[in-house]
Amino acid sequence: MLLVNLGTPDDTTYWPMRRYLKEFLSDRRVIETPRVIWWPVLNGIILTVRPSKSGQAYASIWDNERGESPLRTITRNQAEKLAIRYASMPEIVVDWAMRYGTPSIAARIDALASAGCDRLLVFPLYPQYAAPTTATVNDKAFEALQQMRFQPAVRTVPAYPTDPVYIEALANSVRNHLARLDYDPEVILASFHGLPKKYIEKGDPYQGQCKETADALRAALGFDEHEFRLTFQSRFGPEEWLTPYTDETVEELAKEGVKSLAIMTPGFVADCVETLEEINGEAREIFEEHGGEKFSFIPCLNDSDDGMRVLEAVIDRELQGWVR
């Protein structure tokens, strides 16, 4: 099986960041603007300016001892723990890759095939489906398969926005985190990565699946819609993205007199620059600058025991009929 997450630059300096951003922002699933318009903007402006800015964001969360981002560390740990889980089943080989950057999907599929794997389970690590995330992972996997003379049989893991094991793991993470605080947050935000609104209008189910997750989690925790709210982060460019925006909501809550706030990011399977820098960094600063006093970030499930149980439950379901 192949676990696939979004990706990470190899370093925080200009040229590694530029290579990573070029691959990411050249993906037609991510940016649907016609090439004749987007290409000059990307190559003439964005790839000149943004690598330095993004590099600073990554540098703030970079693991200098390992020389890598937390996303790479966590994804590797998830794969290694799954390998231990399935050690009694030698027919199952667990590997991992990144959609953008290294290790590439094509390289790891080739390695699995070389190891004798004749069946391939591709697991895009996104609980909610979106074309710029799940679909582009599958696209890249199928692109690699097109180059193979002897292709393995293939399955892709579907989204699991309301899977009971997933919802309970998220609920446990909130309960355990709140139990360690010396206060009860007045509001908890479930912040999901944003998506251009026009993508939803074209048929992407992402917004609805995020709402399904938030609703199920709210019910599991026993909160009402004021105490537990759904927001969207990480918008890019001038067009309208899914609302309400996380940063604007954080500012509004602080201005309205909310003094304590907690934010979780249920759509991310592993902590990364969008959770550690954007939420635990930028959102915290916004809240405190506008009158908020107590802010807490609830980490992703990562490779915790509950997080691994979620991955195992999904994999066990998807491997039915292939292995005992």
- Residue 112, both tokens: 């699995």
Predicted pLDDT of residue 235: 92
What are the residue ranges spanned by the domains of the chain?
2-160+307-318, 164-298
Nearest to residue 159, comparing CAs of 136, 200, 127? 127
Distance CA 256, CA 270 (A): 32
Predicted pLDDT of residue 238: 85
**pLDDT of 17 higher than 90:** yes
Predicted pLDDT of residue 324: 74
Distance CA 283, CA 132 (A): 24
The helix (H) or strand (E) run that includes residue 263 is strand 260-264
**pLDDT of 135 higher than 90:** yes
Nearest to residue 210, comparing CAs of 178, 170, 239, 155? 170
The secondary structure of residue 268, as a DSSP letter, is -
Right CATH for 164-298 from 3.40.605.10, 1.10.1760.20, 3.40.190.170, 3.40.50.1400: 3.40.50.1400
164-298 shares the fold of 2-160+307-318: yes
Half-sphere exposure of 91 (CA within 13 A, CB side): 8
Please check whether residue 165 is in contact with residue 310, taking contact to mean a CB–CB distance below 8 angstroms: yes
Within its chain, how far is the Cα of 100 from the centroid? 13
Predicted pLDDT of residue 250: 98
Annotated binding site for Fe(2+): 193, 274
3-state secondary structure of 176: helix
Under the banding of pLDDT at 50, 70 and 90, the label for residue 236 is confident
Q: What is the mean pLDDT of the chain?
A: 97
Annotated binding site: 193, 274
Predicted pLDDT of residue 142: 98
241-286 pLDDT per residue, tens = 999 999 999 999 999 999 999 999 999 999 999 999 999 999 999 9
18-32 pLDDT per residue, tens = 999 999 999 999 999
Amino acid at 76: R
CATH of domain 2-160+307-318: 3.40.50.1400
